[in-house]
């Protein structure tokens, strides 16, 4: 991706050393040019020295650091060759990259020149790698952060800054509570949760997934899907974590909508027949169970007389009343004008009968207020099972049979399967 042209400027170097630099094999993505001058004064003043200029100068040629800076500018990297390294001041040492001893031997010069090329390449590769990382994480719409084990944020991306409403400079080297604007007990709890999270990742030694709800600076409450991975040093010791968080709020909302559509009846909002059987077969877990099978009496007459709009209104009215009267029940529209209220226990019979009668009275009162529905009533069949294993289809059949017994015996009533099963067998 990149290519660098290096300039090696040798000041006061013998021909043998100049030949060594001229004969260096360029490394991948690099070329170099060697220029040699007897003293700094011999170098052209008007030369626009490039950024990648390395000056190797002997102080015996009058190459003071000050003179070199004036000649080659502040961006040139300086290597001072001297036999008086012990006399160099701290200020001088701060201005130079390396000190090479005089006199320079061919072996030392060749070795150090080769190492210098490798060092320059490593620096350039490292610089580009940092650029790659920055470009990648800042391009991502997901939040990205790097933390040490105590939880200090060492590096974050722009999406992270957008989420917390702070600049990168303000976030860097800060902790969770400050970044998310927490205080008091909330801050202490937040820091503790973060510490435990980092410890769990370090203990696991691999990527862990979690979900968290946060208050996004611009989007409000957001659901995040978070992956945290341990970061190791060259010895394999875990020294921190990298975290990636994706805002899945809309995805979760979409999934919930899809699940709702798949599980519920579009007209009434009650659970549908398919989900009823899924729920019964997958989640019963040995509970006692009671089914109340409900059918609307005279519903066909409402449709035939007043049209399907009236029928839909009757369905919705009955469904809303079921939700009101059986808040603890799993309520299903089985199809047409039939419903099942599932109670995940075997309630006391007198208490259940009271609930059923109250429901039927409320239903008659509700229907009487609408001319189109005034003849509607309810026929209900009830069947129960203990916690022992049973076939849900058998229990549905029992409650359905009890409901039809109610319809056959005058309607607007209810029956328990256990009371009428004998007469059903005779029939």
pLDDT at 332: 97
Q: What is the DSSP letter of 81?
A: E
pLDDT at 6: 93
Omega before 111 within 30 of 0, i.e. cis: no
Nearest to 393 by CA among 315, 293, 319: 293
- For 235-267, write each residue's pLDDT tens digit: 999 999 999 999 999 888 888 888 888 999 999
Q: Is residue 23 part of a domain?
A: yes
Q: Is residue 134 part of a domain?
A: no
Same domain membership, residue 401 and residue 286 = yes
Same domain membership, residue 205 and residue 91 = no
Q: Which single residue is written with the structure tokens 């040093």?
A: 233
Same domain membership, residue 166 and residue 122 = no
Same domain membership, residue 311 and residue 231 = no
Which range marks the domain in which residue 61 is found? 4-128
Q: Is residue 135 part of a domain?
A: no
End position of a domain, from candidates 225, 251, 277 = 251
Same domain membership, residue 98 and residue 35 = yes
Same domain membership, residue 56 and residue 112 = yes
Q: Which single residue is written with the structure tokens 């370090």?
A: 202
- For 121-132, write each residue's pLDDT tens digit: 999 999 999 999
End position of a domain, from candidates 94, 128, 162 = 128
pLDDT at 350: 93
What is the rounded distance in angstroms from the CA atom of residue 287 to the CA atom of residue 388?
8
Q: Which run of H or E residues covers position 77?
A: strand 77-82
Q: What is the 3-state secondary structure (H, E, C) of 197-262?
A: HHHHHHHHCCCEEEEEEEEECCCEEEEEEEEEEEEECCCCCEEEEEEEEEECHHHHHHHHHHHHHH
Q: Report the domain count for the chain.
A: 3
Q: Is residue 16 part of a domain?
A: yes
Q: Is residue 410 part of a domain?
A: yes
Structural contact between residues 251 and 258, judged by C-beta atoms closer than 8 angstroms: no
Instruction: Compute the 3-state secondary structure of the chain and give helix, strand, coil in percent, each to the nearest 5.
Output: 50, 25, 25
CATH number (domain holding residue 216): 3.30.450.20
Residues of the chain with pLDDT under 50: none
Query: Cα 313–314–319 angle (5° rounding)?
Result: 100
End position of a domain, from candidates 251, 280, 297 = 251
Q: Which residues lie below 8 Å from residue 270, measured CB to CB, with a gap of 6+?
A: 264, 319, 322, 323, 331, 332, 333, 339
Q: Which single residue is written with the structure tokens 């099972």?
A: 385
Same domain membership, residue 306 and residue 363 = yes
Same domain membership, residue 373 and residue 329 = yes
Same domain membership, residue 393 and residue 296 = yes
């Amino acid at each position: 991706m990149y290519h660098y042209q290096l300039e090696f400027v040798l000041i006061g170097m013998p021909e043998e050393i100049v030949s060594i630099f001229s004969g260096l094999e360029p490394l991948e993505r690099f070329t170099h040019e060697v220029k040699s001058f007897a003293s700094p004064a011999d170098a052209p003043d008007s030369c626009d020295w490039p950024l990648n200029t390395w000056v190797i100068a002997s102080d015996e040629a009058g190459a003071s650091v000050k003179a070199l800076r004036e000649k080659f500018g502040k961006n040139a990297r300086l290597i001072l060759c001297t036999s008086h390294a012990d006399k160099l001041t701290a200020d001088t040492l701060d201005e130079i990259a390396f000190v090479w001893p005089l006199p320079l031997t061919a072996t030392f010069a060749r070795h150090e020149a080769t190492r210098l090329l490798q060092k320059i390449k490593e620096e350039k590769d490292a610089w580009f790698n940092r650029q790659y990382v920055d470009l990648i994480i800042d391009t991502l719409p997901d939040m990205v952060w790097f933390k040490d084990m105590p939880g200090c944020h060492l590096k974050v991306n722009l999406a992270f800054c957008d989420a917390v409403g702070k600049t990168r400079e303000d976030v860097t080297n800060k902790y969770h509570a400050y970044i998310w604007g927490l205080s008091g007990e909330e801050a202490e709890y937040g820091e503790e949760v973060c510490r435990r999270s980092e410890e769990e990742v370090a203990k696991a030694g691999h990527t862990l997934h979690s979900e968290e709800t946060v208050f996004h600076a611009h989007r409000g409450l957001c659901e995040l899907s978070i992956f945290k991975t341990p970061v190791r040093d060259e010895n394999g010791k875990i020294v921190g974590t990298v975290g990636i968080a994706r805002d899945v709020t809309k995805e979760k909302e979409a999934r919930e909508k899809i699940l709702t559509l798949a599980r519920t009846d579009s007209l009434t909002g009650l659970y549908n027949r398919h989900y009823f059987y899924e729920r019964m077969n997958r989640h019963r877990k040995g509970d006692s169970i009671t089914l109340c099978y409900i059918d609307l009496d005279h519903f066909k007459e409402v449709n035939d007389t007043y049209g399907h709009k009236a029928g839909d209104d009757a369905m919705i009215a009955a469904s809303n009343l079921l939700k009101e009267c059986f808040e603890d029940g799993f309520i299903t529209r089985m199809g047409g004008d039939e419903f099942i209220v599932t109670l995940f226990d075997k309630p006391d019979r007198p208490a259940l009968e009271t609930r059923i009668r109250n429901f039927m009275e409320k239903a008659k009162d509700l229907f009487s207020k609408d001319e189109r529905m005034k003849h509607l009533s309810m026929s209900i069949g009830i069947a129960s099972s203990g916690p022992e294993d049973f076939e849900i289809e058998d229990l549905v059949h029992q409650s359905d049979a009890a409901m039809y017994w109610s319809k056959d015996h005058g309607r607007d009533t209810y029956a328990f399967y256990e009371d009428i099963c004998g007469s059903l067998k005779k029939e």
